[in-house]
Amino acid sequence: MAGFVLIAVAAFFFPGVILRTKSIASGRKGPGIFQPWKDIAVLFRKGSVFSDTTGLIFRIAPSVTLATVTGAMLFLPFAEQKAVLSFEGDFIMFAYLLALGKFFTIIAALDTGSSFEGMGASREALFSMLVEPAFFILIATFAMFTGYTSFSVIFNHFFITGNDYVLIYSIIGAYLLVQIAMIENSRLPVDDPKTHLELTMIHEVMILDYSGFDKALIHIGTYLKFAIYGSLIYNLVVPAGWNVILQTGLFFAVQALFAVVIGFTESFRARNKMNKNPKFILTLSSIALIAFMVILILTEKLA
């Protein structure tokens, strides 16, 4: 349960930290740390405008997507506590639930009949498809290294093996997760959420027609997803056996660091050219294969 609650709390600060980092890095005064949530409060107060073309799918998609994200949160452990739901193979459910959310986001964009949104949908479908193998190879290395197939148990046993070189693997894994999170949440270098031209957007163009309540749900989903990946990264670098109070502090520190990294990346980096993106994403799969090699060496299968 702790994992679930902590992710929800972290999601509360996450977008604000990114925003502050970007403001400071670009020398602006910028909005306050809670601005994103204030925006959401505004959205909740507002009414909605729906396109005539849209139908049922467009209306249910944000709710379904948010439900997939909260569902995925149930599988993440914290410290030595088990996650709310923990069973063998829960990470498969985790990944496929998030994919279900993607599915609905994509068809909701197609529901508007807009060529812009169709374009965004096509790109999002392609990129999230390409990133899938990287994530699965990564969790395969988890399973191979620890011999378990559930997030809770894997992270509990991650550092117990007594092999100090695990840290090398943790770092590669954390790097991969940061990149996967950036792609899954449509941030730089694959997509730029602050771009102003529909033709160059991916995720933003898909949700152009949303307003009010539904848009708020979409934003909440994105923030939670950031915190979910942050929590995965945290579990990968901090041993589960440490003191719980210390860990709570570290949890927020890691989340904050993750947000700052995103903020800095977005301040100092340009977005990839659109047709470079597939190559960029496929590179992640090869990095995941490096992680696999590291594990092969650690488990002494490859000497």
Partner 1 sequence: MFGSTAFLVILLLSLFVFAVPEWLKYYFTLGLLTAGIALSTSWCTGVLPDAGQTCELSLFTAATGTRMVLVIDSLSAFFILVINFTVLVGFLYARGYLEPYRARMNALRFSIHYFSYLWLWISMLMVVMVRDGLSFLIVWEIMALSSFFLVIFDAEERSIMKTGISYLIQMHVGMFFILVAFLIVQQDTGRMSFDALGEYFGRHRNLPVFLLFFAGFAIKAGFIPLHTWLPEAHPAAPSHVSGVMSGVMIKMGIYGIVRVLAAMQSDLLVTGVIILIISLVSGVLGVMMAIVQHDLKRLLAYHSIENIGIIGIGLGLGVIGQATGNHTLSLLGYSGGLLHVLNHSLFKSLLFFNAGSVYLAAHTRNMEQTGGLMKRMPWTAILFLTGSLAICGLPPFNGFISEYLIYMGMFGSLSGANLFHSILIVGSIAALSLIGGLAIFCFTKAFGIVFLGEPRSDQAGHAREAGKSMIYPQLATAAMIIFIGLGSPLVVKPVFGIVGQIWNLGAQPLVSGAFTANLAQLSLAGGIFVVTVAVLLLYRRYHLSRRVVETGPTWGCGYTAGSAKQQYTATSFAYNYNHIAKPLLQTRKEIEEIGEDEIFPHGRKFLSHSDDLFKRHLVDRPVDLVSGLLKRIAVMQTGQIRHYILYAFVFMLLVLLLAMLKII
Site for partner 1 (CB under 8 A): which residue of 52, 162, 196, 270? 52
- Furthest-apart CA pair in the chain: how many Å? 63
Least Å distance, CB 131 to partner 1, is 8
**Closest distance of CB 257 from partner 1, Å:** 29
Q: Shortest distance, CB of residue 189 to partner 1, whole angstroms?
A: 17
Evaluated on CA atoms 48, 110, 114, 221, the torsion sign reads: positive
Residue 252 CA to residue 78 CA, distance in Å, equals: 12
Query: Please, which of residues 240-299 interact with partner 1 by CB under 8 A?
Result: 275, 278, 285, 292, 296
* Among 32, 41, 88, 246, interactor with partner 1 by CB under 8 A: 88
Applying CB under 8 A, does 207 fall inside the site for partner 1?
no
Q: Which two tokens stand for residue 175?
A: 């790097």
Residue 171 contacts partner 1 per CB under 8 A: no
When binding is defined by CB under 8 A, the residue of 9, 107, 237, 287 that contacts partner 1 is: 107
Q: Rule CB under 8 A: say whether 129 interacts with partner 1.
A: yes
Least spacing, CB of residue 183 vs partner 1, in Å: 12
Q: Do 104 and 21 meet the contact criterion of CB atoms below 8 Å apart?
A: no
User: What number of CA atoms fall less than 13 Å from residue 192's CA on the CB side?
Assistant: 17
**Does residue 49 bind partner 1 (CB under 8 A)?**
yes
Binding to partner 1 (CB under 8 A) within 130-159 occurs at 130-133, 135-137, 139-141, 143-149
Q: Binding partner 1 by CB under 8 A: which of 24, 93, 250, 257?
A: 93
Q: Residue 39 is encoded by which pair of tokens?
A: 């925006």
Nearest to 222 by CA among 110, 75, 98, 90: 98
**Separation of first and last alpha carbons in the chain:** 41
What CA–CA distance (Å, rounded) separates 239 from 29?
A: 38
Q: Is 39 exposed, middle or buried (0-12, 13-18, 19+ CB in 10 A)?
A: middle
Q: Which of residues 58-77 bind partner 1 (CB under 8 A)?
A: 59-60, 63-64, 66-68, 70-71, 74-75
Smallest distance from partner 1 to CB 163, Å: 14
